[in-house]
Structure 1
Amino acid sequence: MQSSPRHQVPNNQSHADRRQEYSPFRQVFEWLAPIIKLLGMLLLLLGSFQLAPVILLSLEGQPEDTEIFFYSMLFTLVSGGVMVVLGSLVPFNLRGRQIFLLTSLGWIVLSFFSSIPLYFGTTQLSVADAMFESVSGLTTTGSTVLSGLDTMSHGILLWRAILQWLGGIGIIVLGMAILPFLQVGGMRLFQSESSDWSEKAMPRSGTIAKAIGKVYLGLTLACILSYWLAGMNGFDALVHGLTTSATGGFANYDASMGHFAQMPWILWISILFMFLGALPFVLYVHLIQGRPLPLFRDSQVHALSKILLTAILLLSLYLITQREWPWFEALTHAAFNIVSVVTTTGYASSDYNGWGTFAVIFFLYLMFVGGCSGSTSGGFKVFRHQLSIMLMRNQMLALLHPRGVFSQSYNGRHVPDDVIRSMVAFAFFFFATIAALALALSFMGLDFITSFTAAVTAVANVGPGLGVTVGPAGNFSSLPDLGKWLLALGMILGRLEIVTFMILFTRAFWRS
């Protein structure tokens, strides 16, 4: 007796189900496809910017580096194009969990491709040195393993500056659009319709990104022009304008901005633009739209300004009274180096290791301050210091009035408990990362000052550390290769607010 169609339906259904059961490889590919496509687009952007050093090197008559940069550009563009094509095979659908992986892989992949011309070029860097330099550039840390910058090829110096400039705009987007969405480190405090990555807000996110890009470009051009009018040659103005607006700190000279120490007006221009780069860029958007009050009323801006003014006054008085410096020289160098360290730019106008023990300890404390959220600066960030003070005040009041209810607000907005928890978790991981990194460096035979301040400057993205080896008058070239790899990881961790990267190593993240 033949089976009726009714009896055949279950078999057909199970066959359809089996066809819809993708292989594990295909499931992984579909999940990774949006990430691959976006990484490819970033590589296309990176490769297009390599054209600038190719042209400059060819004009300089340096065929070896020209060829290296050309083939590096070609490899980057082809790799990016292939990744875009592969990622386009699947409908684009980016979710929150994928953004965690995208942000971490983005800095790693871009650092690898940007290090290729540094490894194969005339700089003759090792793999560890090339990756360290490129990571330092893209994270706008400003630490370097290079020496002899005064006579180095202009093409390589320009490439380092371009990396920092690209990293600067990437950091703004990261701090304003991505981290608030991922609820990392208390950044949700700054989440708004303009920076939320939910589907509803995506069109407005594109609008705000364009506005911020225009502000960033305008600030950069103003900085370049100011340097040039103040007496820098055209190339120095270009490079230092790119790295100042990005609060990056790569300079064209081994003496950093100390090369211009006899031109104090250049240092004061740098102070101005380092400070402007450390302010929230979304407030500049409000400013150019005819709403200046948010910029002047913002709690972060007030706090950062007070910290800088207080620190500058204190150190200037120390240099005048204890070191017998002339008052204008003391004020200029104190202001320049304090603003550079607090905004995590990393320039130096002189070797402050020789200013005495008080100055050294003072600069160590300043490394932990950082700039504002939504700026190109790194560090612990001003708003977290403010939230910590608020928590401490409320805790003391609670001890005096156990049944009291105390306000928990910031910038006129209520601070939810989950934001506080996220901030506390970040603070723990921030200092734990520094401690672990310093311990690892000391295990390699480095002294305490070098180990500790190198760890701090990497995670806080400051640039120079303290001491003879990694201080403002030294560089990181003498460190062991393993130490450079660990410090490069520390820079990425600091730029990604640590938790964004560390969550990738949890089982919960990879569970479907």
Structure 2
Amino acid sequence: MTPVRQKHAAVKTVSVSGMKPVLHMTGLVLLSMSGIMLFPMLVDVFYGSRDWQAFAASAVVTALIGSTLLYGSRGSLKAGFTLRQAFVLTPTSWFGVSAVSAMPFFFSEYGVVSGSLANSFFESVSGITTTGATVISNLERAPPGLLMWRALLQWVGGIGIIATAIAILPALGIGGMQLFRTESSDRSEKAMPRVRQIAMTIGSVYIGLTVTATLVYWLCGMRLFDAIAHALTSIATGGYSTSDLSFGAWNTNGIQWFAALFMLSGTVPFVLYVRFIAGDYRAFWDRQIRTLMIFLAVVVGSLGSWLALSGQYGVEESFRHAAFNVVSVVTTTGFATTDYTLWGNAVIGIFFGLTFVGGCTGSTSGGIKIFRFEVLAVMLRGHFLRLIYPRGVFPRFYGERPLDSDVVGSVIAFFAVFFLCYSALTIALMGFGLDFLTSASGAATAVANVGPGLGAIIGPAGNFGPLPDGAKWLLSLGMLLGRLELFTVLVLFIPRFWRG
């Protein structure tokens, strides 16, 4: 090939036909979503709500879009996926699901979402990204199908992000996730040789945890409908509730303690469930889990002791509120038992910091993730040791595995881009006239996929409904960015990415 032709090949752009596998997979996902819409439709029919029509119309439109994409891209999966196509598929499929999932809210006859594109899309994105921020108030009066749809969105988004975190992000090397490429495949494949078996086992565990949570909530005093909805959102670490008071509306038979356990079960790497079922009974003695549990124990113990000693609650109530709300924020679920912003300015600062932490990789939780803080700690330790012993050699290990420069660089880049996006979103929200606390906590809770923010408007006792539409669009973008680990979306804006 001549130099001229080589140069021409270097700048060749990606063709439409090259994206057909992406369209094909997106079509399959949309067809699946159209089928899922039938469940809340039947719920509305059962309860006699006219909102079933919104789900019927949305299911038909979604099925038509999905079928069109499938027909136009038939036969395109024979060659598999390239790296570039995998990058495009992730945001395309998540945005497509968010868009079609907004239709039932838009067509609904209920409240603030009816006929509002900004509110409907915000609620849909918040659901599918398992963020849990809401624009809807008076949830007790909302149509049952709409409440079930919100819960189902979070449940589907939870299993979706598990699949993305295990199958896609490690291969793309996003934010240090390549560290788990071998761990999530080799160890699992030794236990169960085929990928399909791993996927089926994870799906079975996910369903099993959801059914267990439903039964426990029901036996603890919830109506069966509420128990199902909260079980779906607990395991998905989503946080959508059927009451404006969230879990503060239920406090019988230890239900809040059980809810904290179920939230924790969703923030565990689901690959570990596969290994445990296959006979590795030390699977949960995992570095991420140990670090998370120690961190939670310190924060809950300190906060619970302070609440008890300050006389705000009794001993059991102090530790229950502390445990539930700290676990809820760290796992990025977003449930609440009370308005913890009334506990004092210091506590507000603590919860603001907890917003960024997140759970384990390969789970349903969002946030920065525990393993990145561990990698950062290893890197800082080595740096300080080199300051003391300039000629010393200090290998970097994560558990028993060496940390190469590629992983460390990816983690540092993630921290930099995360806080850059967070800062930009905070400033942009302030441009809509919002105060600093609302803007800063709103940006944090969106990018970290937590749910409630801080302050009088979007705090645990409020919602995002009063915000300007422009702010809701920005927050929707922030939620998608955070859920997809930032780079999978931002890389699409680099012109070189689209060149062959």
Tell me the TM-score normalised to structure 1 length. 0.92
Aligned in 2, Cα 1:316/1:194: closer, same or farther, shift over 3 Å? closer
- Asked whether the 8 Å contact 1:264–1:332 carries over to 2, the reply is no
Which residue does the alignment assign to 2:22? 35
Which of 75, 81, 89 is residue 102 of structure 1 equivalent to? 89
Which of 268, 272, 288 is residue 279 of structure 1 equivalent to? 268
Which residue does the alignment assign to 1:11? none
- Asked whether the 8 Å contact 2:162–2:362 carries over to 1, the reply is yes
Whole-angstrom CA distance in 2 between matches of 1:318 and 1:225: 34
How big is each residue's C-alpha offset from its partner over 1:430-450, in whole Å with a ceiling of 9 and x where there is no partner?
Answer: 011110000001111100100
Whole-angstrom CA distance in 1 between matches of 2:313 and 2:336: 18
Whole-angstrom CA distance in 1 between matches of 2:366 and 2:164: 12
Which residue does the alignment assign to 2:278? 289
How far apart are 1:295 and its partner, in Å?
1.2
Say whether residues 1:128 and 2:118 are aligned partners.
yes
Whole-angstrom CA distance in 1 between matches of 2:241 and 2:453: 16
Which secondary structure state, in structure 2, belongs to the residue aligned with residue 467 of structure 1? coil
Give the 5 Å matches for 1:151-170: 151-170=141-160
Whole-angstrom CA distance in 2 between matches of 1:354 and 1:125: 35
Which of 444, 451, 457 is residue 463 of structure 1 equivalent to? 451
Whole-angstrom CA distance in 2 between matches of 1:180 and 1:91: 21
Letter in 2 for 1:151: R
Name the stretch that deviates more: 65-74 or 248-257.
65-74
How big is each residue's C-alpha offset from its partner over 1:186-214, in whole Å with a ceiling of 9 and x where there is no partner?
Answer: 00111127549xxxxx9833332222111
Which residue does the alignment assign to 1:228? 218
Which of 97, 111, 120 is residue 98 of structure 2 equivalent to? 111
Whole-angstrom CA distance in 2 between matches of 1:143 and 1:384: 25
Say whether residues 1:85 and 2:74 are aligned partners.
no
Which of 168, 171, 178 is residue 168 of structure 2 equivalent to? 178
Q: Which runs of 5+ in 1 are unaligned?
A: 1-20, 197-201
Aligned-pair identity in percent equals 45
Which secondary structure state, in structure 2, belongs to the residue aligned with residue 468 of structure 1? coil
Which of 198, 202, 205 is residue 212 of structure 1 equivalent to? 202
Q: Which runs of 5+ in 2 are unaligned?
A: 1-8, 187-191
How big is each residue's C-alpha offset from its partner over 1:465-500, in whole Å with a ceiling of 9 and x where there is no partner?
Answer: 111001000000111111000000000000111011
How big is each residue's C-alpha offset from its partner over 1:7-55, in whole Å with a ceiling of 9 and x where there is no partner?
Answer: xxxxxxxxxxxxxx9xx99x72321110010000001111111111111
- Asked whether the 8 Å contact 1:450–1:467 carries over to 2, the reply is yes
How far apart are 1:416 and its partner, in Å?
1.3
How far apart are 1:58 and its partner, in Å?
1.2
Whole-angstrom CA distance in 2 between matches of 1:501 and 1:203: 32
Letter in 2 for 1:119: F
Which residue does the alignment assign to 1:237? 227
Which secondary structure state, in structure 1, belongs to the residue aligned with residue 15 of structure 2? helix
Higher Rg of the two aligned structures: 1
Which secondary structure state, in structure 1, belongs to the residue aligned with residue 358 of structure 2? coil
Which residue does the alignment assign to 1:57? 44
Give the 5 Å matches for 1:113-512: 113-123=100-110, 124-192=114-182, 194-195=184-185, 204-260=194-250, 262-263=251-252, 265-296=254-285, 298-512=286-500
Letter in 2 for 1:416: D
Aligned in 2, Cα 1:125/1:471: closer, same or farther, shift over 3 Å? farther
Aligned in 2, Cα 1:321/1:425: closer, same or farther, shift over 3 Å? same
How big is each residue's C-alpha offset from its partner over 1:101-139, in whole Å with a ceiling of 9 and x where there is no partner?
Answer: 110111111000000010011121510000000000000
Letter in 1 for 2:277: I
Letter in 1 for 2:477: L
Say whether residues 1:71 and 2:57 are aligned partners.
yes
- Asked whether the 8 Å contact 2:184–2:271 carries over to 1, the reply is no
Whole-angstrom CA distance in 1 between matches of 2:495 and 2:409: 21
How far apart are 1:215 and its partner, in Å?
1.1
Which secondary structure state, in structure 2, belongs to the residue aligned with residue 295 of structure 1? coil
Which residue does the alignment assign to 1:44? 31
Aligned in 2, Cα 1:203/1:501: closer, same or farther, shift over 3 Å? farther
Which secondary structure state, in structure 1, belongs to the residue aligned with residue 182 of structure 2? coil
Which secondary structure state, in structure 2, belongs to the residue aligned with residue 144 of structure 1? coil
Whole-angstrom CA distance in 2 between matches of 1:397 and 1:280: 32
Which secondary structure state, in structure 2, belongs to the residue aligned with residue 147 of structure 1? coil
Which secondary structure state, in structure 2, belongs to the residue aligned with residue 474 of structure 1? coil
Which residue does the alignment assign to 2:3? none
Which residue does the alignment assign to 2:6? none
Letter in 2 for 1:139: T
How big is each residue's C-alpha offset from its partner over 1:403-435, in whole Å with a ceiling of 9 and x where there is no partner?
Answer: 211121112111111011011001001011110
- Asked whether the 8 Å contact 2:220–2:253 carries over to 1, the reply is no
